[in-house]
C-alpha cells in the first residue's frame, strides 16, 4: 500500500560520512584577491546604497586588508611592496634605500591584492555618498580609508576622504578635536608636499585652528628650502605624516644637491648623504650626477692647475729681476713772493659802507652834523 521510503543513516559514522560527502567544497577559496561583485555607484550599481550591504562590505574590506598586511614576514618586505604600489600608481614617491641588501631578495611583489582593496574602498565611498550617510559608521569608514590609503601612498583615495570628513561630515556629525588635528594635519602636508599649495595649507590651518608644531615646521622647511629642517621633522612625525612627506622627498633632494653644488668645491661623503638623506651610490644613479669620489671626498669641481703654475713662475721671475735704483729728480723750489702789508681794518663809522675816506686835511670838516 505504501511505497518504501529511502533509508537514512542512523549511526554516527554514517552521518559523518554523509556530511563529509556534502561539504567537499573548499570555502576558503571564496576569499581570494578578486574584488567582490559590487559595482561603482557612479556606473549605476546602487546595491551599496543599502546600509546593511555597506556594513558587511566594510567588514570584508577590513579583514582582507589586515590579513594581507599581516602576511608579510618583516617590515622591510611590506615597505617594498608599498613602494612598488606607489610607483605603479604613477606617484612621485621613491622607495627608500634598502639597508637590508645583504638579506635574501624577496620575490616580485604581487600588487593585485592591494589594488583590488583600493578599488573596493572606492566602491564603498561612492556607496556612502549615494546614500548620503553621515552617521558614526560613515565617519569610521572614511577615517579607516584615509589611514589605509596614506600607507598605500594613494592620494586619489585619502584626499577626497579627508575633505569629505572636514568639510561635509563635520558639519552634521562633528569630529572630536584629536580627529580634527589629525585629519587637518594630513591635509596641510598633502597640499604642501604634493601640490606646493602653501597658501591653501595655511588656510586650512587658520580655518580649523590647528596647533601642530611639527607640521608647521615641516611646511616652513619647504617654504624656506631648509632641507636640514625637513629631514629633522620627517623623523619626528608619525608614520602617516612621514608617508605624506615622502611625496616631497625627491624635490628636497634635488634642491639640496643644487645648494651643495653651487657652494662647495669638495665635500665629505657623509655630509652629502646627510644633506640628501640618501646614500651616495644610490643618489648618483638616481640623479645622474657626474661628480667624482676620492678617498671619502666628493669632488664637485676641480681647480685649474695650469693657471696656478704660470702664476708661480711669474712670481719667481719677478723676484730674480733686480731693478737699478733711480735717483728722483729734484723738484724746483718755489719762491713765495713777499707778503704785502695789510691795511688795518677800519673801525667805528669808517667801517660802514656809508662812510667816506678821511684825510688829514679834511678831518675838521668831518662832523656828524653835516649828515643830519
Please say if the pLDDT value at position 5 is more than 50.
Answer: no
What is residue 114's predicted lDDT score, i.e. its pLDDT? 84
3-state secondary structure of 299: strand
Task: Considering the chain, tell me which residue range(s) the CATH 1.25.40 domain(s) occupy.
Answer: 41-95+109-248
What is residue 4's predicted lDDT score, i.e. its pLDDT? 47
Residues composing the chain: 372
Measured between alpha carbons, how far is 372 from 366 in angstroms, rounded to an integer? 12
What is residue 325's predicted lDDT score, i.e. its pLDDT? 61
Share of the chain above pLDDT 70, in %: 61
What is the per-residue pLDDT across 44-58, written as a single tens digit (0 to 9) for each? 888 999 999 999 999
Measured between alpha carbons, how far is 152 from 89 in angstroms, rounded to an integer? 10
Q: So what CATH class is 41-95+109-248?
A: mainly alpha
Interval 317-332 mean pLDDT: 62
What is the per-residue pLDDT across 82-138, written as a single tens digit (0 to 9) for each? 666 655 444 444 444 444 333 444 444 557 888 889 999 999 999 999 999 999 999
What is the per-residue pLDDT across 211-267, written as a single tens digit (0 to 9) for each? 899 999 999 999 999 999 999 999 999 999 999 999 999 999 999 999 998 888 888
What is residue 46's predicted lDDT score, i.e. its pLDDT? 87
What single string gives the DSSP state of each residue in 186-237? HHHHHHHHTS--HHHHHHHHHHHT---HHHHHHHHHHHHT-HHHHHHHHHHS
What is residue 1's predicted lDDT score, i.e. its pLDDT? 44
What is the per-residue pLDDT across 297-317, written as a single tens digit (0 to 9) for each? 888 887 776 555 555 556 665
Mean pLDDT of the chain, nearest integer: 76
Higher per-residue pLDDT: 68 or 315? 68
- Winning range, highest mean pLDDT, from 21-35, 147-161, 318-332: 147-161
Q: Which three cell numbers stand for residue 298?
A: 666628493
Amino acid at each position: 500500500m505504501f511505497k518504501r521510503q529511502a533509508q537514512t543513516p542512523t549511526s554516527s559514522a554514517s552521518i559523518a560520512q554523509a556530511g563529509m560527502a556534502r561539504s567537499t567544497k573548499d570555502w576558503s577559496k571564496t576569499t581570494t584577491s578578486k574584488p567582490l561583485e559590487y559595482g561603482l555607484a557612479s556606473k549605476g550599481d546602487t546595491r551599496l546604497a543599502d546600509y546593511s550591504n555597506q556594513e558587511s562590505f566594510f567588514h570584508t574590506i577590513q579583514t582582507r586588508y589586515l590579513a594581507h598586511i599581516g602576511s608579510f614576514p618583516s617590515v622591510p618586505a611590506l615597505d617594498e611592496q608599498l613602494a612598488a604600489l606607489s610607483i605603479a600608481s604613477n606617484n612621485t614617491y621613491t622607495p627608500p634605500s634598502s639597508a637590508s641588501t645583504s638579506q635574501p631578495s624577496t620575490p616580485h611583489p604581487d600588487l593585485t591584492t592591494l589594488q583590488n582593496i583600493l578599488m573596493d574602498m572606492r566602491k564603498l565611498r561612492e556607496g556612502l555618498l549615494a546614500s548620503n550617510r553621515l552617521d558614526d559608521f560613515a565617519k569610521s569608514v572614511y577615517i579607516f580609508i584615509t589611514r589605509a590609503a596614506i600607507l598605500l601612498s594613494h592620494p586619489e583615495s585619502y584626499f577626497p576622504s579627508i575633505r569629505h570628513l572636514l568639510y561635509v561630515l563635520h558639519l552634521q556629525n562633528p569630529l572630536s578635536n584629536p580627529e580634527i588635528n589629525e585629519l587637518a594635519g594630513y591635509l596641510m602636508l598633502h597640499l604642501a608636499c604634493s601640490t606646493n599649495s602653501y597658501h591653501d595649507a595655511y588656510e586650512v590651518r587658520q580655518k580649523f585652528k590647528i596647533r601642530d608644531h611639527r607640521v608647521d615646521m615641516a611646511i616652513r622647511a619647504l617654504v624656506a628650502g631648509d632641507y636640514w629642517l625637513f629631514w629633522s621633522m620627517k623623523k619626528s612625525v608619525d608614520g602617516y605624516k612621514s608617508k605624506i612627506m615622502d611625496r616631497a622627498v625627491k624635490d628636497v633632494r634635488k634642491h639640496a644637491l643644487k645648494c651643495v653644488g653651487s657652494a662647495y668645491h669638495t665635500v665629505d661623503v657623509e655630509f652629502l648623504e646627510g644633506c640628501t638623506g640618501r646614500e651616495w651610490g644610490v643618489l648618483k644613479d638616481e640623479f645622474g650626477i657626474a661628480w667624482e669620489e676620492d678617498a671619502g671626498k666628493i669632488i664637485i669641481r676641480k681647480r685649474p692647475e695650469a693657471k696656478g703654475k704660470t702664476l708661480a713662475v711669474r712670481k719667481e721671475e719677478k723676484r730674480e729681476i733686480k731693478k737699478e735704483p733711480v735717483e728722483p729728480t729734484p723738484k724746483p723750489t718755489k719762491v713765495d713772493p713777499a707778503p704785502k702789508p695789510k691795511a688795518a681794518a677800519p673801525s667805528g663809522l669808517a667801517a660802514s659802507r656809508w662812510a667816506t675816506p678821511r684825510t688829514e686835511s679834511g678831518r675838521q670838516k668831518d662832523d656828524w652834523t653835516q649828515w643830519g
